[in-house]
Amino acid sequence: MVRLRSLFLAVVVTAAFLGSLPASAAEWKPFDPAAFAAAQKEGKSILVDIFAAWCPVCRAQNPILVQLTREPKYKDLVVFKVDFDTQTDDVRALKAQAQSTLIAFKGETEKGRSVGDTNKDSIAELLDKAL
């Protein structure tokens, strides 16, 4: 009987915890040219995040992006992460000159980009352009 109560309590606590998480959030994926092209063709809202692990600006941008993309209004946004150091062909194809570049797309149309921005409000404005 004690075991059953413990199990019931665990289920209730887990359900309460899961209920406190956002109902929806953006989908994050490693950049893959085929997946990116498919998302564009489908007319999706897309953010491309070109980052480098050693980049302090990229490290400052990441928690802002994570926080923003948890908001329900970005639930349909697809975020593609591009590694500046290892995906050089993709970086070139996206016409990016530096790490810490954020590029917003709506389908196949580029809606805006920023480089080195760590201001939450202006990053949110960029994300909004993709919606």
Mean pLDDT of the chain: 86
**Stronger pLDDT, 13 or 106, i.e. the higher one:** 106
CATH number where 59 lies: 3.40.30.10
pTM of the model: 0.81
- The one-letter amino acid at 114: S
CA-to-CA distance for 23 and 107, rounded, in angstroms? 24
Structural domain contains residue 65: yes
pLDDT of residue 21 exceeding 60, the answer is no
Structural domain contains residue 96: yes
Structural domain contains residue 14: no
Structural domain contains residue 4: no
pLDDT of amino acid 9? 31
Structural domain contains residue 3: no
CA distances from 64 to 10, 16, 32, 131 (A): 32, 26, 23, 18
Structural domain contains residue 17: no
Q: Average the pLDDT over 80-105 and give the result.
A: 98
How many domains is the chain built from? 1
Structural domain contains residue 12: no
Q: Residues of the chain with pLDDT > 70: what percent? A: 82
pLDDT tens string 44-91: 999 999 999 999 999 999 999 999 999 999 999 999 999 999 999 999
Do the Cβ atoms of 79 and 25 come closer than 8 Å? no
Structural domain contains residue 15: no
pLDDT of amino acid 71? 96
Structural domain of residue 100, as residue ranges?
24-130
The beta strand positions in the chain, using DSSP E, are 27-30, 45-51, 77-83, 101-106, 109-115
Structure tokens at 102: 């954020």
pLDDT of amino acid 17? 35
pLDDT of residue 41 exceeding 60, the answer is yes
